[in-house]
Structure 1
Amino acid sequence: MSMLLHRRGLLAASAASLACSLLPRRVQAAASADRIVVAGGAITEIVYALGEEKRLVGVDTTSMYPAAAGKLPQVGYFRSLSAEGILSLNPSLLLASEQAGPASTMDKLRAVKLPVVLVPESMVAAEVPEKFRIIGRALDCSVQADRLADGLSADLARLEAAVANIKRKPRVLFLLSVTDGRLLAAGHTTAADTMIRLAGGRNAIEEYGGYKPVSAEAALAANPDMLLLSNQGLETLGGTKGLAELPQLRALKAAREGKVAALDMLYLLGMGPRIAAAGRELARALHGAAIPV
């Protein structure tokens, strides 16, 4: 019996020792991630919002905000990353969108034991604050991350309350691009659809999901009250006047009357820390003074 108790005591002591040794290592692993590569514009924004930008050594091409991020070494588009390009920066951690790839690159990075934290993508506005918490845990700054996540959740709730009593939901057609006469519009299950609904509007395209080409006839049938584009896209088309002169849009009342809203692409579709601010700005474009600043 005494031998059995002795063995149990040794096992318990070993388990306790192992638990104690694992916890500091997890904390140390997060704290020691002082060379971070990010693949995802919203993730980069969150790292800056957390005040941890000094640990960044590289970002992807969608990391355009804040402006300082554009001065960092780039590793390419987050969906077509190169393992060699990332590893050349000698990173201690890769923070990436769950859509980052290709799979072969991610496999190579894991094969060389580079820690990789994937941040889920969601088209649900209320789930965006969770990105803060995930990144905060990865960077060992959960207290700050939780505070910012809670603040964003409260901001989204205020916007939701502001649009809740507005009965008329304007129909909005989001045009991602107009290339060679082809209109590329947003259906459901897109960031554009999320933002339109967050702002108290209705997506004029309900028949399909994703971003797909639509004909001039389909755009006319959608009968939008407002056209929504990125600033970059509208500028390419020659502004509101140029948009109205497009043969594919000329028949639209919204185009003829200049019912057009435009926001920065990453600001509008980034699904990141500025989502509530972008939603409020779009809501004011749709509903005017009914939405508080």
Structure 2
Amino acid sequence: MKKINQLLVMAFIMLATVSCKKEEKTTEETTVKTDSTTVAAGARIISLNGAVTEAVAALGHEKEIVGRDVTSTYPESVKTSAKDLGHVKRGMSIEAIMELKPTLILGTEEDITPELKSKIEGSGIKWVIFKQEFTPEGAKKLIADVATALDHKADIKPIQDKIDTDRSGLVAFKKAPKVLFIYARGANMLMVSGTGTPIESMIQLAGGANAVTDFADFKPLTPEALIKGNPDVILMFDSGAESVKGIDGILKIPGVDKTNAGKNKRIITMDGGLLTNFGPRTGEAAKALNQLLAK
């Protein structure tokens, strides 16, 4: 009887040990648990939009990003940790994406071409294409949508609330300064922002007014449009200003010298991703532009 009891005890111990090992193996194969988030084990994310990349990083999943588009430059570390796949609208190939063996592909409707979208859909890889709205509420929704796509379990409200916190204390102008945004890729490629663009939304968030309201989207810059708009301030991306040889080059653009901005040398340059991504840094961008407009 004593021997039987000993055998039963030994069998119980062996069963418990096997059960424990089996549970540990299942955990390793399915998910990796962190403090408050569940991330798919071995997840390999391709992000095809700068705002999406910012949201993924803000949610704590930057290390899972293995590939990115050219607009994904924040956080700074992602530029070295993830492969640059180029511009979504300018020849990004499905082959380059698939070489990275992704488990999840994320992008936005505005950026992705129908051809690339079709190839991603047929790739057999899980994908999510978000609809982006260029407002503070739209930025909060994007954060929530990205969290859902990542099966992120932690509280996202602090990340969303930061957008409003960052916008607090903006300078209120008696009269909104007229701001003209010029997109430049060298002196021979100059475009101005009309209505309905992300940059117009950011100008308005910062307390300014778009100097050009008689057309939508972007059009080539002309001296006539500059003079007609007569902006108080000219706004450009840092990279755009560099492409025309800085502030001196901007002041030499035909028509600039006849505007209030040119006469007063009121030129503002800022990081393009910060200004137009409309991700977690939306409030930070509005505050930074507001402060520069107030100087």
TM-score bin, normalised by smaller chain: 0.7 to 0.9
Secondary structure of the residue aligned to 2:280 is coil
Work out whether residues 67 and 84 of structure 2, in 8 Å CA contact, stay in contact via their aligned partners in 1: yes
CA distance in 1, matches of 2:87, 2:244: 25
Q: 1:119 aligns with which of 130, 147, 165?
A: 130
Work out whether residues 33 and 139 of structure 1, in 8 Å CA contact, stay in contact via their aligned partners in 2: no
1:55–1:173: structure 2 CA closer, same or farther, 3 Å change rule? same
Q: Which has the higher helix share?
A: 1
Query: What fraction of aligned residue pairs are identical, expressed as a percent?
Result: 29
Work out whether residues 108 and 129 of structure 2, in 8 Å CA contact, stay in contact via their aligned partners in 1: yes
Greater shift after overlay, 271-280 or 95-104?
95-104
CA distance in 2, matches of 1:178, 1:94: 29
Higher relative contact order (CA 8 A, sep 6+): 2
Aligned residue number for residue 76 of structure 1: 86
Counterpart AA for 1:200: G
Report deviation, 1:181: 5.2
1:180–1:133: structure 2 CA closer, same or farther, 3 Å change rule? same
Work out whether residues 173 and 205 of structure 1, in 8 Å CA contact, stay in contact via their aligned partners in 2: yes
Aligned residue number for residue 5 of structure 1: none
1:132 and 2:132 matched: no
Aligned residue number for residue 26 of structure 2: none
Deviations, residues 231-288 of structure 1 (Å, cap 9, x unaligned):
1222232322332233332222311321111101111122222121111111111224
Secondary structure of the residue aligned to 1:104 is helix
1:66 and 2:66 matched: no
CA distance in 1, matches of 2:214, 2:164: 30
CA distance in 2, matches of 1:244, 1:285: 18
Report deviation, 1:68: 1.6
CA distance in 2, matches of 1:152, 1:253: 32
Deviations, residues 114-165 of structure 1 (Å, cap 9, x unaligned):
1111122222233111111111111122434333123324444x35xx35x5
Deviations, residues 25-75 of structure 1 (Å, cap 9, x unaligned):
9xx996347111110111111111111111111111111122221122122
Moved over 4 A (4+): 178-182
Report deviation, 1:78: 2.0
1:45 and 2:66 matched: no
Work out whether residues 37 and 86 of structure 1, in 8 Å CA contact, stay in contact via their aligned partners in 2: yes
CA distance in 2, matches of 1:33, 1:167: 54
TM-score under structure 2 length normalisation: 0.80
Greater shift after overlay, 195-204 or 246-255?
246-255
Secondary structure of the residue aligned to 2:134 is coil
Q: 2:113 aligns with which of 102, 106, 111?
A: 102
| 1:1-293 matched pairs, under 5 angstroms | 31-32=40-41, 34-71=43-80, 72-79=82-89, 80-156=91-167, 158=168, 162-163=170-171, 165-177=172-184, 179-180=186-187, 183-288=190-295
Counterpart AA for 1:147: P
Secondary structure of the residue aligned to 2:292 is helix
**Count of residues paired in the alignment:** 260
Secondary structure of the residue aligned to 2:192 is strand
CA distance in 1, matches of 2:174, 2:140: 28
1:100–1:250: structure 2 CA closer, same or farther, 3 Å change rule? closer
Greater shift after overlay, 136-145 or 255-264?
136-145
Counterpart AA for 1:70: K
Structure exhibiting the larger radius of gyration computed from Cα positions: 2
Secondary structure of the residue aligned to 2:258 is coil
How well do the aligned residues superpose, as a CA RMSD in angstroms? 2.5
1:200–1:169: structure 2 CA closer, same or farther, 3 Å change rule? same
Counterpart AA for 1:283: N
Report deviation, 1:195: 0.9
CA distance in 2, matches of 1:36, 1:48: 11
Unaligned runs of 5+ in 2: 1-29
Unaligned runs of 5+ in 1: 1-24, 289-293
1:91–1:240: structure 2 CA closer, same or farther, 3 Å change rule? same
